[in-house]
């Protein structure tokens, strides 16, 4: 959890806006530090977190969270964290090939055209299942790292957008929870014309979300002291104000991330 | 012209509201609904795919709220959870007509679709166009207002829907961060096309304020560019000389120009400098007439 980012987003584990859909996207760089931030943030806030880890193993997230002062193992044992380890589960689905074992969550691996309904049912079931029991966790949170990976597994952009719409209807509107989704944009500019692709997915999700954090590498290339730029963009929903943007540069450190206004890095001043 | 479209001065029609990720058209859509609800006889039906009812009704005047019928296609548009009020597959002429017939006493019905992008993702564009056209012709609906995210579709798909529309409003963010720009294209009954570009902002009570008109943006830009520019206007050096400067310049002696003083100084040998003495030898055959006689050419 990065205190600086909390003050930028005007939130803290004690009080944060509910019903938000946060879209994290990156281009030519890696925005997973923000996923680690939000994971530790919502675990500290006492929310029930459902994490779909599609690109890394549980031990990876666990190791990073340990550094940020949150134990994923404990949270998992307490039932606060539901973790879908995509890499492990998908192996079971692909190698054994029969539907009896393994969750139906990853059914799309076998038949990409069927869409992500299985994955939604998994998420929905986990959140609904916990509702009957003691209500000791805060509003539910869904996190996905990263959603664009299902595109390369053959799922169409439309199916992914249907999935995110259902998640948004359930988490943000019905249960007043939060959603954090990471998507990766391919750097190719010429891709823009084609109708299927991560660009289109990102645009579709941007239409749905209420806050975007767009991470980009520096246009001038690699720099030791500034790792990239984050554009924070609040998309006005009910108030007449439309879109509000702020641009920061950041540097990922060992135990946190520094955010500063453009051109005010300690290496420059 | 945006206000005329919003106020529906020309009764009936099909209004297409186009937006992109950089500026959402939903606020403008809501301000249309709010003006429509102010008209006494008007009933508004909303097919809401992208915003929940609470979010949609937020900001709209509560006194007229009972004339706004929200059909919830947001929470379960595909029938996954089995508690859907309206699914995307129900977007057919019959189903939409039955929805509208729930208010048989209504004189004028406005159908709002938020947004058509959802429907286009699950239906063939040609079928969507046919159904929209049928709704328009059917008579049950007086006005159809449709929101489309243009950056989610291929150009041809949006183009074919534009052909159906009587008014097309394209919104984009304003250039100086203030307000937004709306490009309005309206087709009158006689077939005449009118185009206009205005900057506007939406107030708290969802009323629209027009700030300025850019009626022919292409021409105005060209004119400003063509004004005569003086290239010598902002130079960092001086191109002209004052009289004193000219005198100073003329006084200055340039280093490689021979003046009289310089020439005489060089030609007058100073004291103690070397001389060349030439005493002709006896062998020397010096011919005054031809000094180069001894050269063997």
User: What average pLDDT does the structure give for chain A?
Assistant: 85
A/B interface, count of CB pairs below 8 Å: 63
- Could you tell me if B207 lies within 8 Å of chain A, comparing CB atoms? no
Q: Which residue of B has its CA nearest to A118?
A: B80
Set of chain B residues whose Cβ sits within 8 Å of the Cβ of A243: 22-24, 173
A243 in contact with B, Cβ within 8 Å: yes
* pLDDT of A195 above 80: no
**Cβ contacts of B23 on chain A, cutoff 8 Å:** 242-243
**Among A101-105, B238-242, B243-247, which stretch is predicted with the lowest mean pLDDT?**
A101-105
- Within the 108-127 window of chain A, which residues sit less than 8 Å (CB to CB) from chain B? 117, 120-121, 124
B124 in contact with A at a CB cutoff of 8 Å?
A: no
Over the stretch A107-142, which tens digit does the pLDDT of each residue have? 888 888 888 999 999 998 888 776 656 557 888 999
CATH class of B2-170: alpha beta
A195 touches chain B (CB under 8 A): yes
Round to whole Å and give the CA distance between B171 and B272.
Answer: 96
Give the Cα separation of A226 and A218 in Å (integer): 8
A250 domain-assigned: yes
> Rounded to the nearest 10 degrees, what angle do helices B93-100 and B125-138 cross at?
40
pLDDT at position B269 over 70: no
Residues with Cβ within 8 Å of residue B294, at least 6 apart in sequence: B285
Torsion angle, CA of B232/B235/B237/B241, rounded to 10 degrees? 30
Tens-place pLDDT, residues B167-213: 999 998 877 666 788 999 988 888 888 888 988 888 888 888 888 88
Please state, for a pLDDT cut of 90, what percent of chain B lies above it. Answer: 16
Tell whether the model's pLDDT for residue B219 goes beyond 60.
no
Residue A246 touches partner B, C-beta closer than 8 Å? no
The pLDDT, as a whole number, for residue A214 is 93
Q: Write down the pLDDT at residue B276.
A: 80
Question: What's the confidence (pLDDT) of residue A181?
Answer: 95
Is the Cβ pair B54, A200 closer than 8 Å? Answer: no
Q: How far apart are CA A5 and CA A8, in angstroms?
A: 5
Chain A residues whose CB is inside 8 A of the B81 CB are 124, 166
Using the predicted structure, report yes or no on whether residue A241 has a pLDDT greater than 80: no
- Interface ipTM: 0.84
Closest CA to A23 of A34, A37, A12, A39: A34
Is B78's Cβ below 8 Å from some Cβ in A?
yes
Residues of chain B numbered 222-261 and touching chain A (CB < 8 Å): none
Q: Provide the CATH number for the domain around residue A239.
A: 3.40.50.300
Q: What is the mean pLDDT of chain B?
A: 82
| B218 pLDDT more than 50 | no
Please count the structural domains in chain A.
1
A138-147, B228-237, B243-252, range with the lowest pLDDT? B228-237
Higher pLDDT, A33 or B220: A33
- Give how far Cα A109 sits from Cα of A87, A114, A209, Å: 12, 9, 26
What pLDDT is stored for residue B159 in this prediction? Answer: 92
Render pLDDT for A132-172 as a digit per residue (tens, 0 to 9): 565 578 889 999 998 989 988 888 999 999 999 999 999 89
Tokens 């000389």, located at residue: B241
Nearest CA of chain A to the CA of B202: how many Å?
6
Would A268 be classed as within a structural domain? no
Which residues of A are less than 8 Å from B204 in CB distance? 240
Using CB atoms, pick whichever of A169, A195, A242 lies closest to residue B23. A242
And the tokens for B241? 């000389």
pLDDT tens per residue, range B135-176: 888 777 888 999 999 988 888 899 999 988 989 999 988 776
CA diameter of chain A: 61
Q: Is B55 on the interface with A (CB under 8 A)?
A: yes
Cβ contacts of residue B164 below 8 Å, gap of 6+? B14, B16, B129, B132, B133, B136
The domain segmentation of chain B, as residue ranges, is: 2-170
Partners of B18 in the beta sheet? Answer: B148, B170
d(CA A227, CA A252): 7
Range of the domain at A191: 3-261
Local confidence band at A238 (pLDDT 50, 70, 90 cut-offs):
very low
Of B5, B66, B71, whose CA–CA distance to B32 is shortest?
Answer: B5
Chain-chain contact of A169 with B75 (C-beta, under 8 angstroms): yes
Mean pLDDT confidence for A250-254: 88
Per-residue pLDDT of A21-69, as tens digits, reads 999 999 888 999 999 999 999 999 989 999 999 999 999 999 999 988 8
Q: How confident is the model at residue A266 (pLDDT cuts 50, 70, 90)?
A: confident
Instruction: Please tell me which residue of chain B has the smallest CA distance to A120.
Output: B80
Question: What is the predicted pLDDT for the residue at A98?
Answer: 59
B103 versus A211: which is more confidently predicted? A211
Of A252, A125, A112, A127, nearest in space to A178 by CA: A127
Are A243 and B23 inside 8 Å of each other by CB? yes
Residue in chain A lying closest to B77 (CA): A166
Q: Which of A174, A195, A242 sits opposite B24 (nearest CB)?
A: A242
Task: Among A32-46, A202-216, B71-85, name the one with the lowest average pLDDT.
Answer: B71-85
B180-187 vs B68-72, strand pairing mode: unpaired
Is residue A159 within 8 Å of A116, Cβ to Cβ? yes
Q: Which tens digits make up the pLDDT trace of B15-51?
A: 999 998 888 888 889 888 888 888 888 888 999 999 8
Quote the Cα angle for A67-A71-A72, to 5°.
115
- The arrangement of strands across the sheet holding A47-53 comes to A81-85, A47-53, A138-145, A178-185, A21-27, A211-216, A228-235, A243-252, A257-261
User: A84 vs A47, A54, A188, A236, B230, CA distance in Å?
Assistant: 17, 8, 30, 32, 68
């Amino acid at each position: 959890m990065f205190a600086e980012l909390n003050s930028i987003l005007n939130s803290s584990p004690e009080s944060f806006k509910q019903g938000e859909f946060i879209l994290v996207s990156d281009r030519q760089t890696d925005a997973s530090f923000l996923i680690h931030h939000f994971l530790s943030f919502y675990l500290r806030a006492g929310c029930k977190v459902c994490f779909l880890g599609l690109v890394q193993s549980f031990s990876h997230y666990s190791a990073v969270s340990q550094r940020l002062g949150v134990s994923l193992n404990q949270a998992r044992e307490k039932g606060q964290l539901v973790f879908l380890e995509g890499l492990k589960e998908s192996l079971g689905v692909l190698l054994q090939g029969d539907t009896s074992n393994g969750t139906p969550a990853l059914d799309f691996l076998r038949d990409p055209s069927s869409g992500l309904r299985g994955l939604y049912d998994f998420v929905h079931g986990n959140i609904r299942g916990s509702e009957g029991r003691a209500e000791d966790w805060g509003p539910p949170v869904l996190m996905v790292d990263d959603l664009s990976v299902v595109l390369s597994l053959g799922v169409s952009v439309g199916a992914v957008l249907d999935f995110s719409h259902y998640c948004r209807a359930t988490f943000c509107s019905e249960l007043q929870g939060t959603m954090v989704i990471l998507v990766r944009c391919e750097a190719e500019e010429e891709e823009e014309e084609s109708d299927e692709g991560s660009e289109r997915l990102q645009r579709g999700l941007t239409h749905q979300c209420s806050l975007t954090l767009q991470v980009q590498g520096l246009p001038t290339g690699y720099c030791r002291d500034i790792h990239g730029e984050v554009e924070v963009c609040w998309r006005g929903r009910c108030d007449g104000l439309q879109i509000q943007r702020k641009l920061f540069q950041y540097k990922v450190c060992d135990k946190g991330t520094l955010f500063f206004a453009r051109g005010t890095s300690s290496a420059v001043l | 012209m945006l206000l005329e479209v919003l106020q529906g001065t020309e009764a009936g029609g099909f209004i297409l509201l186009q937006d992109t990720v950089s500026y959402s058209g939903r606020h403008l859509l809501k301000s249309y609904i709010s003006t429509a609800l102010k008209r006494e006889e008007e009933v508004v039906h909303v097919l809401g795919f992208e915003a929940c009812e609470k979010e949609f009704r937020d900001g709209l005047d509560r006194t007229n709220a009972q004339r706004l019928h929200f059909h919830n296609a947001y929470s379960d548009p595909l029938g996954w959870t089995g508690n859907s009020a309206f699914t995307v597959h129900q977007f057919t002429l019959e189903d939409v007509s039955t929805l509208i017939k729930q208010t048989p006493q209504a004189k004028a019905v406005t159908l709002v679709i938020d947004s058509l992008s959802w429907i286009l993702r699950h239906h063939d564009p040609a079928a969507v166009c046919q159904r929209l056209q049928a709704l328009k012709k059917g008579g049950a609906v007086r006005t159809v207002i449709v929101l489309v995210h243009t950056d989610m579709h291929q150009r041809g798909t949006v183009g074919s829907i534009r052909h159906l529309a009587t008014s097309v409003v394209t919104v984009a963010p304003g250039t100086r961060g203030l307000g937004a720009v709306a490009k309005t294209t309206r087709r009158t009954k006689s077939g005449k096309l009118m185009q206009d570009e205005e900057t506007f902002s939406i107030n708290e009570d969802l009323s629209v304020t027009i700030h300025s008109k850019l009626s022919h943006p292409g021409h105005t830009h060209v004119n400003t560019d063509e004004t005569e520019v003086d290239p010598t206007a902002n130079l960092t050096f001086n191109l002209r000389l004052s009289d004193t400067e000219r005198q100073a310049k003329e006084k200055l002696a340039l280093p490689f120009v021979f003046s009289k003083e310089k020439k005489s100084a060089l030609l007058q040998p100073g004291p103690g400098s070397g001389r060349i003495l030439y005493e002709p030898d006896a062998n020397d055959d010096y011919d005054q007439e031809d000094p180069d006689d001894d050269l063997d050419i």
